[in-house]
Structure formats: C-alpha cells, structure tokens
Homo-oligomer: A and B are copies of this chain.
Amino acid sequence: MDSTFDPTFDPTASRGQPMTRAAAPPAVDFARYAEVARGKIEIALASWLTSKAKETAALTPEARAPIEAAFDLARRGGKRLRAVLAGCTYEGFRGEGGADAVLMAGVALELLQVYLLIHDDWMDGDELRRGGPSVPAMMRAQFSSRDLADASAILAGDYAAGLALDALLSVPCAPGRVAKAAHELARVMQDVVAGQLLDVHASHESARLLTERQADVECMHALKTASYTVRAPVLIGARLAGASDPTCRVLEAFAEPLGVAFQLRDDVLGTFGDPRATGKPAWSDLRQGKRTALVAAAAEDAEAASFLRVLGDADAEVAELEALATYLTRSGVRARVEARIDALLSEARAALDSPLVPETARLVLEGSIVALGRRER
C-alpha cells in the first residue's frame, strides 16, 4: 500500500501549509472505501463488457478488433479513482442502497476515460498506456494500412463514448436523477474537448512555451482534466443521490480546485516522481515538451531559458534533463507549484464548509482531497 492509501499517513505533518479544518480526519474513510469500491467496480465493468461483447459478435473480426481493443484498455484500468469518487459521493449524500446501487455510473466514468484516452493517445502519438500498448498502437500493429489503423483507433474511441452514455443510463435510480447525471456527462464531454483543443493548439506553437502563463495552463487543466477527474464524478454521484442545484454549485467549487491540483500533482510527478511508482517513463513529460505547470512557472523566471531549450527534445541527454530538474528545484519553481497545489487543496476543503454538504459527504470528500491531491503515483 502506498502512502496515498495509508490511513496513518498525515499530509499535514511534513508541510508548512495550514489546513482550514485542522481537526478533520483526512484519508481514512476514503482510503478504506476506495479499496473495497475498486474491487466492485472491476467486477461490474468486466461483467458489463462481457455482455456488450455479445452484441458485437456478429461483426467481422476486423470490425470487432477496435472495439475489443477499447475493452482491453478498459480492463487494464488503474486506480479507478473517478468511479470510486462517484460512488463515495453518492454514498456520502446518503443515496439509496449506497454506492453499490450506482456501480454503473462508475462503469460509465471508466468508459468515458477510455474514449478520451484513445483519442488523446492518437493525437499525441503515445505508444504506451496503462502498462501496455495504447489503442492506436494496437491498431497499427494489427492493420498494415496506416489510414485503416487511424480510422480504427478513432472509431474505438467513438464506440467507448456511446458505451459510457449507455452505462450511465443503466443506473437504476429515479429517471429524473439519471437524466441530470447524464447532463453532467454531456457537459464534461464538451469541456474535455475544449481543454484538449487548447492543449493541442498551444502545443503546436512551440514559441509560446516560454510565454505561457500559469493561468492559461490552469484553465486548460480545469477543462481537460479537472472536469472529468473530479467534477463529473462528484456531480454525477451527487445528482444520482438527488442533490439540489445549489448543492451541486457548492460541489463544483470543491471539485474544480481539487481537479486542477490533481493535474498539477501529475505535472510534478511527471518530472520528479519515481517512474516505478508513476508507471511513466523517466523524463517523459520533459522529452515530450508537455505544457505543465512547472514549465509555466519557470517561464516567469529570467534564468529559465537556457534550461528549457531541451523541452520537447525526444533525444535529449539525461544529463541535460537532470540539469533542468535541478534548476526547477533550486530556482524555487517546483516549490511555487507545490505551494499552488496546497492553496488549491485548501480552497477545495473550504468549499466543503457548507450547510448544504452533509457530514458524511464532507468526510469522504475530505478524504478524496488527500488521495487525489497528495498522491505519489
């Protein structure tokens, strides 16, 4: 068990940042919940994919292959954090039957992510995903025509999008709640695409990298990551439990800073994390020239230019990358990003201080702050 899910792990112990709610027990409930919930989600997902596979049995083997590749990626999932978050929010808001009643919402969120990952990996040319080949790489290995492989990958993603909606509409809650949850799905489908558009267009203008503003990177993170990593899971869970519009606005004020902090943490781990823990190749963010908060923070520093020129150089020497990482720490850039994460997590925590959030929900969502914002992998 890593520190994220260690009930004895106290994120406040090693940091100077004050907590707005010092007395709250942090990760215990969420960590215990996540352990159990993850197993149930795996079973629900596997069972649903098996039933869905029967529906495609009449297709030709070539036409079925992209769908099976999407299923394979879905099964290779990691922490199932988004699905866990939806279930625990539902339970926190005292949804009938507890989280087990809305496992299909978790399945939907996993399939939404599969859709997004497939299209992202195709756009970014990423070969690896979740410890195996990405879906576009699987398609290229299977079909000799590059056009056919590309079309197959896009269609595999499109299929997963339809599956995600199908799964969410299969949740056995009151239809009015299901329709509102589906509306959150429609919203996140738009936001993630807008965030990805910001990302791919800015990434193609390499000259912009050094004038990148922190606010722009955070806007992209909010749309591209926070929306589907925190906001959609939390709001779908809350909507299914019957949470009101004003309550959902409170939850948005919680979800957005937590989601952005999640991605900033990803940015830090992508450069400073242990590749054995993160599963990402060492230095991959820097080699790919990703638009991270570290780069944006460094852009404000006059000394940065000479170090940042290796960004996006796939063949950069390890020594150069180490020099960049050292510079990012020595110059205080890393500390500035870590401080920003702390501020965002405090903001998320403060949002939960609302009479609209019942104590059970507050406890479990506070636990999620640690799991998502302080993770080491």
A interface, CB within 8 angstroms of B? 55-56, 58-60, 62-64, 66-67, 119, 122-123, 143, 145, 147-148, 151-152, 154-155, 158-159, 161-163, 165-166, 169, 175-176, 178-180, 182-183, 185-190, 193-194, 196-198, 200-202, 204, 219
Task: Give this chain's copy count.
Answer: 2
Residue from the list B55, B59, B162, B163 in contact with A197, Cβ < 8 A: B59
- Write out the residue numbers on chain B whose beta carbons fall within 8 Å of the beta carbon of A194: 56, 59, 63, 67, 159
Known: A154-B119, A176-B176. A63 touches B162 (CB 8 A): no
- Write out the residue numbers on chain B whose beta carbons fall within 8 Å of the beta carbon of A56: 194
Query: In the bound complex, what is the Cα–Cα distance between A178 and B201 (angstroms)?
Result: 36
Query: In the bound complex, what is the Cα–Cα distance between A134 and B70 (angstroms)?
Result: 28
Query: In the bound complex, what is the Cα–Cα distance between A159 and B198 (angstroms)?
Result: 13
Query: In the bound complex, what is the Cα–Cα distance between A175 and B178 (angstroms)?
Result: 8
- Cβ of A162 and Cβ of B186 under 8 Å apart? yes
- Write out the residue numbers on chain B whose beta carbons fall within 8 Å of the beta carbon of A202: 60
- Write out the residue numbers on chain B whose beta carbons fall within 8 Å of the beta carbon of A159: 189-190, 193-194, 197
- Cβ of A200 and Cβ of B169 under 8 Å apart? no
Query: In the bound complex, what is the Cα–Cα distance between A347 and B131 (angstroms)?
Result: 51
- Write out the residue numbers on chain B whose beta carbons fall within 8 Å of the beta carbon of A189: 158-159, 161-162, 165
Q: Which of A63, A145, A159 has the most CB of B within 10 A?
A: A63
27 contacts between A and B (CB under 8 A): A55-B190, A56-B194, A59-B194, A60-B198, A63-B197, A63-B198, A67-B194, A119-B154, A119-B155, A119-B158, A123-B151, A143-B204, A148-B200, A148-B201, A148-B204, A152-B200, A155-B196, A155-B197, A158-B193, A162-B186, A162-B190, A163-B186, A166-B190, A169-B179, A176-B176, A178-B179, A182-B182
